[in-house]
Structure 1
Amino acid sequence: EVAPQCRTASAAGFFAVAMYYQGADHASFRPLCPAIVEPQHYVREEPLFSSMAAGERRAVRRRRLGWFAHQVHQNSRTLIGGWVTGLFGAIATVPMVARILAPRLTSQIRESMGSLVRPPATELHLERLGNNPGSDPESMGYSLDEMSQIVVRILQDIGMVKDFPPTIVFFGHGSGSLNNPHESAYNCGACSGGRGGPNARAFAMMANDPRVRRRVSQLGIELPDEVRFVGAYHNTCNDDVDYYDLDLLPRSHRELFRGIESDIIETRARNAHERSRRFESAPLGLTPQEALEHVEERAEDLSQARPEYNHATNTLVTVGRRDWSRGLFMDRRAFVTEYDPAVDDKDGHILTRILQAAIPVCGGISLEYYFSTVDVEGYGCGSKLPHNVASMVGVMTGAASDLRPGLSQQMVEIHEPMRILFVIETTAEMLSRIIVENEGIRRMVEGNWVQLAIIDPSNSAIQRYVDGHFEPHLVSDMQLPTVQSSMRWYRGQRDHLGFATIQEPESDQPMNSSESNASAAGALA
């Protein structure tokens, strides 16, 4: 709606970059890939070679601050330290009260202070010099051949194998909020509850490497020299967007990028506005800019138990060409996964690997919400308000309880418990064979943990998978409401809405060749 000249596509949010990742200010590596995948590769974020000295000084500051905080924490439990803590403890109430009364301003101040210890400009240790992957410096990263295979896989998955736009932005996603012991449940499911920004950044670096592109061309995809990839990160809690390695963007692409950035700024505000209608504390009459400020404030509010609803209300996964869902308002209830049958081979290898990730990840997210909704105290974890983090492995209720599994009451209160429906653009014969040949998919399908339907690519006929076979599905009502914009359809409504067709907006100005090719490729979860 914001930029009709743009094309969007989507893929599982780890972008086939399965890795153990260590940020520049992280103490250890963590996996960024689906839980069913065990990474073999290690990637570390490091200061730029020209900023190594400044990076080390900031690292020293972080270590000293960490040591000081640890000493205060330890000594506050001694006899003398307890008295000192009691005398100066009132000082700690100042930032606490500020985070409640003025969370957005407090966040901006804290962000400014953080520049003293935040790493300077960084790069990823992405290319491996040794033969075998490992965690030592010589073994970190990927070989050029491995990078080229990752690039080809994702481009095939999203059906982008020719007619490339000059700038393609890959968005990883995650969530950040101040007071949330369940924060990883809001992050990227395809990254094992981590944040997908590093995966998007790594993919963009791989795809921009001319040595990788030469190997990609040998594998059948010609990436023109003028095409540039940009990695980005979308914080789904406050709708903030960060871009990586913009200094590497050629000057010829910067004007186009500024246009894309401007569209994304407008999209952030509209996205925040659409999300805010589900928050009871957000007035329905907010403007998009006011809604953006509202979600930014929620993320930093120490008293906020509902920073975002994330995947609550999920009911549907589409796996097919973006064209047949473009312009369809789905009330934020669908995972949209790109797949073009025309790019796939007769054995469906591309579809198989898409479903090997999409069904466990999206089905798992759906079941997590399903069980936590039908029994929030048994399968879920009850209210998050009395939760305490226990040994950094889970949460418990109050001062003593078993570890609580599942999602909290505040995360599922607007969710409708139902088994998620996959609508896949393929034939019955191909999907039946994929189910039989893949144990993980077969167990999910035959156990009725997920529902399946197909759209035949040749004639658009719809069939549902029922008790081991496909049955024709007759659509009783072919008419959908048509509205001028999403906002016209949902404004003033807090409850679930039906589907609607959004009219294609007209551009204010004629598109030139660069504008007509602008594209953003985004992640699902």
Structure 2
Amino acid sequence: MTLERATLEDSIDRAAETVGSVWPLHSFVTANPLAGFEDRPFHRAVAEAEQLFGGRGYPRPSAFRRAWEDGRIDPDVLADELHAHGVSGDPETLLDEMAAAESEHETEPDTATERVDRVLSKWLAAFLDQGQAEWPMPGRERGFYAAWRDLAPYDDEIPGCDDTSDLPESPVEALETVLSDCPEGRWEEIFEHHLAALPGWTGFIKQRADGHAGPWQDACPISLLEYLAVRLTLADLLDAPVEPDENEHRDAEPDGDVPLPEIWLTAWEKSYRARLLDGIDESVTEPSAGDGDRPAAQLVFCIDTRSEVIRRHVEAAGPYETHGYAGFFGVPMRYEGYDSEVEIDACPPIVDPQHRIADRPEHDHGDDRETHDRWTQVASAARKHLKSLKTNVAAAFTFVEGGGSAYGAAMAARTLVPSAVADLSDAVDDRVPSPGEFCEPTVDRRGEADGDALPHGMTLEEKVSYAETAFDLMGWEEFARLVVFAGHASETANNPFDSSLDCGACAGNPGGPNARVLAAICNDDEVKSALRERGFDIPADTVFLAGEHNTTTDEIALFDGHVPESHREDLDRLREDLEDARAGAAAERAESMRGTDPDEAVRDTKRRTADWAETRPEWGLAGNASFVIGPRELTDDRDLDGRAFLHSYDWTTDPDGEALEAIMTGPLVVTQWINNQYYFATVDNAVYGSGSKVTQNPRGNVGVVQGNGGDLMTGLPLQSLMLDDDRPYHQPLRLTAVIHAPVERVNDILARNEEVATLLDNGWISLTVVNPEQDNDAFHYQGDLEWEPALATPLAH
């Protein structure tokens, strides 16, 4: 690589920092679309992002008015915020002023630039296709620019390009040709402008080029350098402006000038925080003391907000204890399912996988394996044959004549009686064993890794470390006879965004495999022995098992193949109680799902899994607003309405703060991503979301576009956020974090971790510490490692 190219790529990388990475749909990862602006105060970040992307950064005045009229914004809190910023006027007048000041700020689009976007999007969709196209774009193995350069002369939409020789030979030469008349000092600004023009495709290329795409990037390499070379060449050929308008890069509002919408937003958030703190059990200062009663079972759920609902109903169903832990269960792995042709990274995007784990069948379950294989082979052959008939030009008409009636009947059933389809699917599932019933994850180390390849399995010391970390972070000192690690997954039909409903901590994949790995680790006799030596008093009768919470139906499946007969009675009772919990949770969630009778909630949630016309199978994490880090006793008598992430933590078992530091630098950062994905997709879905599912079209197994082309959409669809066209279900609030720990401990962690402190100082997260060393008095973080005591009397509901 020449120095010139390296310098150019460095400039492009800096220009791309403001565009967030975009993951493919099959592993959709919720992330802050303004992640590149987190080093700036929130109000300045949204102002700069509006100039760059054209998206609004605050809820509309109508949303503030609705929150005000519904009582979600406390009048006293709002008055204090307005006074603190020197704003006078009554709320109604201010709301009217905001509504009057609301303007479109839209400029007439440049038609030449629109043509560039349209043509470029077409070529990107063809090149980045991941197996959907029957006729893939030729020459992709040579890279994006080379493949495009070979085929561009055949595109009638590109003028002045009759032969390959009309185009520069390399992407570096292409950029130099187009930018030859531009001062080199402006290049980075030009790059940022063009990268932001199609932030969806740019973000996806950025994610691929960062090394997260595996074999697709190896087979069809693409870089931001090549992308810009093609884009700027097209701009030159189509007479579109290369340099941005100077007005697009005017200075944003100064840091101290907080706009009126942010004042209202902060008042709304503080009102929510006051209600949240009002439900904190102030008597819980030393949770590790416990009440001395051994629970019938302990269930560890993901910190996901949907787990808050099912946890309440599990606790109400029997003498059970529930805990919260990041849903990949602390095991950073690359996972290969039994009958899967691909491997997936089952860990958060900020964590690199460290082990390769595969499902392998056990010898004593041979019959189950044979039954599963027979059914899978038949179903796979049928799908493959059906696809070939539908896409083969020669066979299409005969397929309609010969199989149209049967295919039409199946379509009619899915449309008219989806509940019957769901029942049929359940019946098949009951008769056909799942891989989890006859396979075990290969957790033991097998040989040494070759070169940079991930090792298969893990060593004894690594297994002990993962178990120890889990128990440390949750503050465990006692164990029930049954301990269940429950991952979670969703179930839905005809939903391009199905992975957005799976486990975000598992990179948009189901969490069951991770739960099974941790259960296998903890059941290892050598691991148990080592843990006892490290102070974990695990009784001889404790059995660990895995489960998976279906967040669409609230059913919890248990993988209990290794549970001994001595525990069968416990297991049967747990199954019965989990069914009761499922019914209660489904009935509660039915109240938020239009057209659902709470008495028929279980039945209706099953229907939603099979109805291919269902645009809203579940709400996902809509409504999320807070992250509570502390013992379950703090909130176990409180209905948090499925709006809180809950991570177990016991400050008395973590004297040096290492466990809390791991939570604050890991799960807290990830929940901020999730929260801001929902926030921005709600306040401006056209820019930061993906519009209505009804008009979406999938592209290349990587994403969706609106209509028949254009930019790759980057966020959640309207149906995941809105009750209807005008009323959001998700309340767009920034994340409120509450930590049960001494203030000094939290302050020390912030002093050591600039990234987390920056998120707090710049207003992306608000933080309150409930200090157990001071009778659980609350202290609000003010920035720059300064704290302020909360009001002595919390606000009423």
Structure 2 length-normalised TM: 0.57
Q: Deviations over 1:359-411 (max 9, x none)?
A: 12211111010000000111111111122221111111233221111111111
Provide the secondary structure at the position in 2 that maps to 1:304: coil
User: Which residue is 1:420 aligned to?
Assistant: 735
Q: Deviations over 1:135-171 (max 9, x none)?
A: 99x942111111111111111111112x321111111
User: Which residue is 2:585 aligned to?
Assistant: 271
- The whole-number CA distance in structure 1 between the counterparts of 2:452 and 2:743 is 44
Aligned length: 472
- The whole-number CA distance in structure 1 between the counterparts of 2:770 and 2:439 is 45
Amino acid at match of 1:447: N
Amino acid at match of 1:160: W
Contact 1:96 1:302 (C-alpha < 8 Å) held by counterparts: no
Contact 1:59 1:117 (C-alpha < 8 Å) held by counterparts: no
- The whole-number CA distance in structure 2 between the counterparts of 1:133 and 1:37 is 21
User: Which residue is 2:533 aligned to?
Assistant: 218
User: Which residue is 1:147 aligned to?
Assistant: 463
User: Which residue is 1:6 aligned to?
Assistant: 320
User: Which residue is 1:262 aligned to?
Assistant: 576
User: Which residue is 1:21 aligned to?
Assistant: 335
- The whole-number CA distance in structure 1 between the counterparts of 2:387 and 2:465 is 48
User: Which residue is 2:655 aligned to?
Assistant: 345
User: Which residue is 1:38 aligned to?
Assistant: 352
- The whole-number CA distance in structure 1 between the counterparts of 2:371 and 2:489 is 29
Contact 1:40 1:133 (C-alpha < 8 Å) held by counterparts: no
- The whole-number CA distance in structure 1 between the counterparts of 2:568 and 2:377 is 38
Contact 1:42 1:135 (C-alpha < 8 Å) held by counterparts: no
- The whole-number CA distance in structure 1 between the counterparts of 2:668 and 2:515 is 21
User: Which residue is 2:444 aligned to?
Assistant: 127
Return closer, same or farther for 1:454/1:28 CA change in 2, 3 Å cut-off: same
The range that moved more, 207-216 or 113-122, is 113-122
What does 1:255-404 align with in structure 2 at a 5 Å threshold?
A: 255-283=569-597, 286-287=598-599, 290-346=600-656, 348-404=657-713
Contact 2:361 2:439 (C-alpha < 8 Å) held by counterparts: yes
Return closer, same or farther for 1:268/1:48 CA change in 2, 3 Å cut-off: same
- The whole-number CA distance in structure 2 between the counterparts of 1:405 and 1:96 is 30
- The whole-number CA distance in structure 1 between the counterparts of 2:638 and 2:489 is 25
Amino acid at match of 2:659: I
User: Which residue is 1:493 aligned to?
Assistant: none
Provide the secondary structure at the position in 2 that maps to 1:156: helix
Contact 1:40 1:134 (C-alpha < 8 Å) held by counterparts: no
Amino acid at match of 1:124: P
* 1:463 maps onto 2:779 in alignment: yes
- The whole-number CA distance in structure 1 between the counterparts of 2:622 and 2:538 is 38
* 1:206 maps onto 2:516 in alignment: no
- The whole-number CA distance in structure 2 between the counterparts of 1:25 and 1:42 is 16
- The whole-number CA distance in structure 1 between the counterparts of 2:323 and 2:371 is 41
Return closer, same or farther for 1:77/1:160 CA change in 2, 3 Å cut-off: closer
- The equivalent position to 1:93 in structure 2, one of 394, 408, 417, is 408
- The whole-number CA distance in structure 1 between the counterparts of 2:620 and 2:386 is 36
Amino acid at match of 1:101: L
- The whole-number CA distance in structure 2 between the counterparts of 1:78 and 1:268 is 45
- The whole-number CA distance in structure 2 between the counterparts of 1:133 and 1:20 is 16
* 1:47 maps onto 2:361 in alignment: yes
- The equivalent position to 2:719 in structure 1, one of 410, 413, 436, is 410
Amino acid at match of 1:315: A
Return closer, same or farther for 1:118/1:454 CA change in 2, 3 Å cut-off: closer
Contact 1:12 1:357 (C-alpha < 8 Å) held by counterparts: no
The range that moved more, 302-311 or 464-473, is 464-473
- The whole-number CA distance in structure 2 between the counterparts of 1:107 and 1:66 is 20
Amino acid at match of 1:386: T
Return closer, same or farther for 1:374/1:134 CA change in 2, 3 Å cut-off: farther
User: Which residue is 1:106 aligned to?
Assistant: 421
- The equivalent position to 1:80 in structure 2, one of 394, 415, 432, is 394
Q: Where do 4+ consecutive residues of structure 1 move more than 3 Å?
A: 50-72, 74-79, 110-120, 131-136, 475-479
Return closer, same or farther for 1:197/1:220 CA change in 2, 3 Å cut-off: same
Contact 1:20 1:31 (C-alpha < 8 Å) held by counterparts: yes
Return closer, same or farther for 1:436/1:172 CA change in 2, 3 Å cut-off: same
Question: 5+ unaligned residues in a row in structure 2: which ranges?
Answer: 1-314, 723-728
User: Which residue is 1:233 aligned to?
Assistant: 548
Return closer, same or farther for 1:366/1:439 CA change in 2, 3 Å cut-off: same
User: Which residue is 1:482 aligned to?
Assistant: none
User: Which residue is 2:18 aligned to?
Assistant: none
Shift in Å at residue 86 of structure 1? 2.3
- The whole-number CA distance in structure 1 between the counterparts of 2:668 and 2:463 is 25
Contact 1:384 1:409 (C-alpha < 8 Å) held by counterparts: yes
Contact 1:41 1:133 (C-alpha < 8 Å) held by counterparts: no
What does 1:159-198 align with in structure 2 at a 5 Å threshold?
A: 159-161=475-477, 163-198=478-513
Return closer, same or farther for 1:75/1:156 CA change in 2, 3 Å cut-off: same
Contact 1:239 1:296 (C-alpha < 8 Å) held by counterparts: no
- The whole-number CA distance in structure 1 between the counterparts of 2:696 and 2:550 is 24
The range that moved more, 250-259 or 336-345, is 250-259
Q: Deviations over 1:310-336 (max 9, x none)?
A: 111111110011111110111111111
Shift in Å at residue 260 of structure 1? 1.7
Structure 1 length-normalised TM: 0.85
What is the alpha-carbon root mean square deviation over aligned residues? 2.3
Amino acid at match of 1:236: T
User: Which residue is 2:567 aligned to?
Assistant: 253
Amino acid at match of 1:259: R
Q: Deviations over 1:205-261 (max 9, x none)?
A: 1111111111212322221211111210001011122111x2311222111122222
- The whole-number CA distance in structure 1 between the counterparts of 2:440 and 2:369 is 12
Q: Deviations over 1:301-354 (max 9, x none)?
A: 1111010001111111100111111101111111111100000023x1010111
- The whole-number CA distance in structure 2 between the counterparts of 1:134 and 1:95 is 50
Contact 2:368 2:438 (C-alpha < 8 Å) held by counterparts: no
Return closer, same or farther for 1:6/1:135 CA change in 2, 3 Å cut-off: farther
Contact 1:159 1:343 (C-alpha < 8 Å) held by counterparts: yes
Amino acid at match of 2:655: D
Return closer, same or farther for 1:196/1:369 CA change in 2, 3 Å cut-off: same
Provide the secondary structure at the position in 2 that maps to 1:388: strand
Return closer, same or farther for 1:374/1:440 CA change in 2, 3 Å cut-off: same
Provide the secondary structure at the position in 1 that maps to 2:422: helix
- The equivalent position to 1:432 in structure 2, one of 738, 747, 762, is 747
Shift in Å at residue 68 of structure 1? 5.2
